[in-house]
Structure 1
């Protein structure tokens, strides 16, 4: 199992729960699409499902991740739309800043996704 550094007892119990789902891939992400935890099956499907990986960045920047999805453009549009909805008014959050590479990341997105950022 892969999980983030902060481990409260409640979080540990939650991680034990998803790790017990050996027949189903499971991962937990925050509103910025950072993977917080993933069970072994999720990580086996893609190394992107590993604590600390940002799913939007992985989908846009990692060629091997893109190759996993036949419908890459549609998935990317949906994932970025979800990110925008989840972030809401917190668009100035440092995790979405130039220093974190978001503008460069979004430039690699399909044209339909970039339209909202130009």
Structure 2
């Protein structure tokens, strides 16, 4: 919990990081890279502050205050202009936005992202015999491996994992730790909703699900939040009994609103079987 005393301290730390970041990036760019003619011999590397200000279309004094880490309000437009002047990569722009107190803007897919999606697809589909899947911001399946479709009875896309858990007893029965799993799903769903405060679909899903599941309604009213949770997960397999998996959850780099979930059977729980059809996972769902 952040106290009144810790809030100013966190602001100082954020501005200090911003100061070091902007100076480091400015010093890594040569005048020639941005089309400036370098007539004199420079004592310091990179661009001067006034050159960055000119390239960004902001005042020299204002940019100096920004790089000095002064407590000033920085608009998203200014962040974008300075990002362009410093030729920041996407991850650097996101970092700059956060240090300036803004959420990073959403990006439209480009060729690099399309290549990233292809890599994610190859990873998910090649993860067998262990399950793997990608879900969107609402918990709906975007892509699932063959073993995940078999084990969780989900299609290649469209199923909502949160809705499925609270409306299908057969899904809940797969988890010996039912209460822990349900609580984690709801807390993660609420945390996701806070990342997209203008999206009404979270409220619609929560409202419908509260009517269908009193248990969900009870957990939703607890207002617990958690990030992408990971750790051990016990799952009852059709033929092999309860098996312990390491569960890893991470955001998809090319689509940060999506989550990649990977299951890894613990070595003591691994079973013999074909690489593409692990024993005990049952027949693949349609």
TM class by smaller structure: 0.7 to 0.9
Please list, as runs of the form range in 1=range in 2, the aligned pairs for 1:1-118 lying within 5 A after superposition. 8-48=114-154, 50-98=156-204, 100=205, 102-107=206-211, 108=213, 109=215, 112-116=218-222
Higher relative contact order (Cα pairs below 8 Å, separated by 6+ residues) = 1
Change (3 A) 1:89 1:13: closer
Separation in 2, partners of 1:12, 1:95: 28
SS at structure 2 position matched to 1:97:
helix
Greater strand share, structure number: 2
Q: State the number of aligned residues.
A: 108
Q: How far did residue 37 of structure 1 move?
A: 0.8
Greater helix share, structure number: 1
Structure 2 residue runs without a partner (length 5+): 1-113, 224-286
Query: What is the TM-score when the length of structure 1 is the normalising length?
Result: 0.74
SS at structure 2 position matched to 1:37:
strand
Change (3 A) 1:111 1:57: closer
User: Which contiguous aligned blocks of 4+ residues in structure 1 show a shift greater than 3 angstroms?
Assistant: none
SS at structure 2 position matched to 1:22:
coil
Moved more, 86-95 or 57-66: 86-95
Structure 1 residue runs without a partner (length 5+): 1-7
Query: What is the TM-score when the length of structure 2 is the normalising length?
Result: 0.34
Separation in 2, partners of 1:20, 1:95: 32
Larger radius of gyration: 2
